[in-house]
């Protein structure tokens, strides 16, 4: 059975922090592959600066197109909104019964994890591979039997920082993969 890591996110935009975590998890865990699941609508986040689904998917595709370890996944575009992880996983498990899906997340999810739809079922039926996030406090869920914490390097880069810097006219070429950054510039994303 193939073990597939799922890194969910709005990827608005995808940046080197996402790729560093993906690369770390792919190389330092038992995952056979890693999918970037582009989420159209996170019910716990504000959406005012969110680019359209197809642009964010294109940015992910540009960022990973030369790396066979990774794949983009737009499955949530076809599911009812807002996106709930439990619905996505149920759908994926039905569609790909020969895969074991593992959720990849930062430790920063745990303080609000109880707000996730069917969060107890997620912990019961799926494994979580978790990486440390700056400022995250130790949380009891990191000791849950379904959670494995990795000592991945902490990455203090956020998409909101990148969007704000672009709005201010800063050069973010070392924060975003080359092809993705060119696409952002060509499309004038985040400038206003």
For 96-132, write each residue's pLDDT tens digit.
Answer: 999 999 999 999 899 999 999 999 999 999 999 999 8
Report whether 38 contacts 67 (CB < 8 A). Answer: no
Residue 107 lies in a domain: yes
| 41 in a structural domain | yes
pLDDT digits (tens, 9 = 90+) for 4-39: 999 999 999 999 999 999 999 999 999 999 999 999
The enclosing domain of 74 has a CATH number of 3.40.50.620
Whether the Cβ atoms of residue 126 and residue 6 lie closer than 8 Å to each other: no
Please indicate, yes or no, if residue 48 is contained in any of the structural domains.
yes
Residue 187 within any structural domain of the chain: no
48 φ, ψ to 5°? -65, -25
Cβ atoms 142, 106 nearer than 8 A:
no
Answer whether the bond into residue 13 is a cis peptide, omega within 30°.
Answer: yes
* Band of pLDDT at residue 47, cut at 50, 70 and 90: low
Identify whether 171 is part of a domain: no
Alpha-carbon gap, residue 39 to 44, rounded angstroms: 12
**Structural domain includes residue 160:** no
pLDDT at 46: 61
Say what the pLDDT of residue 15 is: 98
pTM: 0.93
**Total number of domains in the chain:** 1
pLDDT of residue 45: 62
Q: With respect to residue 67, please indicate whether it lies within any of the assigned structural domains.
A: yes
Please report the pLDDT score of residue 123 as a whole number.
96
Quick one: pLDDT band at residue 139, thresholds 50, 70, 90? Answer: confident
Confidence of residue 44 (pLDDT cuts 50, 70, 90): low
pLDDT of 172 above 70: yes
**Structural domain contains residue 84:** yes
* Other beta carbons within 10 Å of 46: 7
Q: In whole angstroms, give the CA distance from residue 101 to residue 7.
A: 11
User: What's the domain range around 104?
Assistant: 2-155
């Amino acid at each position: 059975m193939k073990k597939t890591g799922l890194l969910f996110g709005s990827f608005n935009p995808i940046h080197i922090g996402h790729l560093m975590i993906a690369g770390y998890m792919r190389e330092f865990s038992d995952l056979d592959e890693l999918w970037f699941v582009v989420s159209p609508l996170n019910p716990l986040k504000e959406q005012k600066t969110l680019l359209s689904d197809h642009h964010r998917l294109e940015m992910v595709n540009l960022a990973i197109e030369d790396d066979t370890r990774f794949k983009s996944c737009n499955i949530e575009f076809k599911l009812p909104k807002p996106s709930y992880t439990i619905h996505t996983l149920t759908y994926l498990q039905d569609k790909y019964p020969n895969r074991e899906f593992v959720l990849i997340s930062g430790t920063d999810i745990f303080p609000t994890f109880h707000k996730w739809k069917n969060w107890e079922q997620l912990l019961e039926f799926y494994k979580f591979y978790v990486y440390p996030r700056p400022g995250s406090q130790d949380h009891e869920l990191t000791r849950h039997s379904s959670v494995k914490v990795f000592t991945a390097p902490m990455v203090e880069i956020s998409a909101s920082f990148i969007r704000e810097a672009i709005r201010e006219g800063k050069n973010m070429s070392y924060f975003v993969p080359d092809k993705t950054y060119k696409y952002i510039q060509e499309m004038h994303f985040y400038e206003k």
